[in-house]
Amino acid sequence: MFADGIYEVIPVYHGNPFRLNDHLNRLQYCLEQIKLTSPYSSEQWQTIIEQLIERNGGGHMSIYLQVTRGVHDERDHLYKENITPTVLLMASPLTVAEQPLTSCKATLLADTRWQHCDIKSIALLGNIMLRNQAQAKGYDEAILHRDGKITEGTTSNVFIVNGGIVYTPPQNNYILGGITRDVIIEICHTAGVEIQQQCIHIEQLLAADEVWISSSSREISPVIQIDDKIIGHGKVGPISKTLFAEFQHFKRQLLATKSK
Ligand code: PDD
């Protein structure tokens, strides 16, 4: 009734969950933020997820996991103690798993969401209103801004390239700490690509050589147009290509990993 819960979306490649510990750590962080005790330990979550993967035949899939406050006999805004949280997990196809690098178009919209965007709350009305606004205008995603600065997409994190340097907004309460975002930062470090986590102003975004969005369900998707502005001559840039290739390498490593 209150959308009082937390969720995770975990990509699975070759039957192995990608960055599972990071997803479980974020789940734990978010549950702590809303004072909801996790019904399972990290090891128990892992076992449940492995069973779900197995029951769905392994391969590539996306796992949705949510924990909500639980059932109480009266409608009350106060947290209730001693009720059992409700847990839901499901698996669905991960269409992006075998896809080549796929570009998209975005529109800029004011970030009208709340100020706790670091919490992966199931209350997504703010995000879905903006995403649908973008869709109605013919765009794949909305890139959001507050006070002239870029925060993130409605379902993704944002990166830009300017003069060979990658920039992404710093992690704070205005953005979700994306697991894919962390992987990209890691890849930049190992590939020797300079990356800085700092504020990106709207003007910098629109003047960027390359822009991409990232998420567990989209991986890396270059943005080649933002409203009427064409980014990087409307073509996927070299750094996007390099990072995408490295990301595929990370995925392939899971092929060799035996699910523990
Ligand atoms: N969303 N920011 C927002 C607002 C998101 O909803 C997401 C992901 C991300 C990227 O996080 P990650 O890399 O951990 O997926 C950033 C998921 C996929 C969803 O809601 O379906």
Q: Ligand 1 test: best mutation among 176, 179, 181, 243, most atoms within 8 Å of CB?
A: 176
Residue 259 has pLDDT above 60, yes or no: no
Query: Residue 255 has what pLDDT?
Result: 75
Confidence class of residue 243 from pLDDT cuts 50, 70 and 90?
Answer: very high
Bridge-based pairing state of the strands 165-168 and 157-162: antiparallel
pLDDT digits (tens, 9 = 90+) for 22-37: 999 999 999 999 999 9
| Residues belonging to the active site | 120
pTM summary value: 0.97
Residue 176 reports pLDDT greater than 50: yes
Please say whether the beta carbons of 38 and 67 come within 8 A. Answer: yes
| 180-192 pLDDT per residue, tens | 999 999 999 999 9
User: Using CA positions, which residue lies closest to atom 1 of ligand 1?
Assistant: 155
**pLDDT class for 142, splitting at 50, 70, 90?**
very high
Does position 241 have pLDDT exceeding 60, yes or no?
Answer: yes
pLDDT at position 136, please? 98
**209 C-alpha to ligand 1 centroid (Å):** 24
**In this structure, are residues 197 and 252 in contact, taking their beta carbons and an 8 Å threshold?**
no
- Which whole number is the average pLDDT over 1-30? 97
Percentage, residues of the chain above pLDDT 90? 94
Question: How many C-alpha atoms does 195 have within 13 Å on its Cβ side?
Answer: 23
pLDDT at 200: 98
Is the Cα dihedral 63, 118, 123, 81 positive or negative?
positive
Ligand 1, from 216, 219, 220: best to mutate by most atoms within 8 Å of Cβ? 216
Residue 107, token pair as written in the block? 């529109």
Which tokens go with 165? 């340097």
